[in-house]
Structure 1
Amino acid sequence: MATEARLPIWMRPEPGTRRPRFTRDQIAATALAIADADGFEAVSMRRVAAELGAGTMTLYHYVSTKDDLLALMDDAIMAEVLLPDEALPRDDWRAATSLIARSSRDAFFRHPWALEGLRGARFGPNGMRHFEQSLVAIEATGLPPRERLALVAILDDYVFGFVTREVGERSERTTAEGTEWDEEAAFDYLEGMIDGGDFPAMRRLLGDGDRRAAWADVSAGWSDRFEHGLAIVLDGIELLIERRRADGAPPPLP
């Protein structure tokens, strides 16, 4: 039988004082604020306690371990992902999954350190609510359970993959000294590499004329590439639904 220390924090009651000095929500919000301001590495039990105006040992009265603190942080972010139930259309899986995907993207853009820093954090009640909303949204496809679960995972993979790449690109635009990189010099280097003949596909993409203008043309609308990519993923799901219907699968739920 698991001891209390090994149970997820959600299965353990909060300190049994009539008026606890701190709540788990306060502790999580404080930890998130530290990570947002100074990076995930700055989060420690000592730092969180100091920001709350408490001693470190006092904080341990509320949160037993660093893993518990990470679980609280993760669940606080998942609370930001959640949408009001009335905002999710139950008869339009495409609209519902799009809303969830955008909300997830926005939450993790607010906390760009979280995808890496909170990897492996224990699943909490808000994470379960997000999963429930995702299942409800995809349920209207009428696909069988195994495929519905796979589609939820695919949509999450798309969102998290997009956020990871976008955060990485933003970081790469800034040097270690915190100054913007020289885009002109970088493009000159790229052109030299293309003209060297080692990148024929890039040459075919940009041609031999004004490559800066060619790049501006082919990358036009890239700021909306999240929506473009999401539409492609959802188009693929629609094709899957049509194929399953042709195979005699049950119609979507009413």
Structure 2
Amino acid sequence: MRDAAVCSVLYTVRADVARAVIAYSGLEIAEVFPGRAVCALAFVDYRDGDLDSYHEFGVAFLVQPPGRAGATGLGELAHAGTFVHWLPVDQGFTLEAGRAIWGFPKELADIDLRLGSPFKRCIVRRDGRLVLDLLLRPGLPVPGPPALTGLEAYTHRDGVTRQVPWAVRARGVRARPGGALIRLGNHPIAKELSELGLPKRALMSSTVDHAEMIFGAARELRPGDAEAPVRRSAGGPA
């Protein structure tokens, strides 16, 4: 993906509920505070890439990579991977490609992005029902060159959990503590988010004016992988 605008917000949530939500993946939640995990909500305007232009919303959790099960504390933020739990999009081509190539849990939804004002807003509806209405207030500019940052994403589809190497080069980054206002609807995903115990105040929020993303080849995780460190691999552009 050659150019995208990204808005994201992090919330601390109940670790026991988050653990139950993603139990199907076989991965372990990263417990960064006692009894608390981190849930990330993000909305993206993909403007230029091999999968065409489209809008996307994501619900993800910070997880422990294989080989670090049982570790807790703020230090886990430096090691945590990102498990993508729900990933609605508004175009069919990216839905099919994302499912087939990386195992992303993509679904079609109505995603209304409003990025042209000082406040960034995303309204997601699925099956005619409101999932959420999320409003972000951009923070202060984050200094520094747009370095390529490597991450580990995890997906699950058709009974298989996969590791997806992922790298991002970001320009025009702003961040702040808090900075988000969320209204949940009556869709089952909204109920799930409510049960996580989202606090009124977000941990932090960020916006990126221009992001370049590179996704590597997905690797299936087998039961034995939980006892061994994950092997990183390079990939090509999405």
- Give the shorter-chain TM-score range: under 0.3
Structure with the larger helix share: 1
- TM-score w.r.t. length of structure 2: 0.20
Structure with the larger strand share: 2
Q: Which has the higher contact order (CA 8 A, sep 6+)?
A: 2
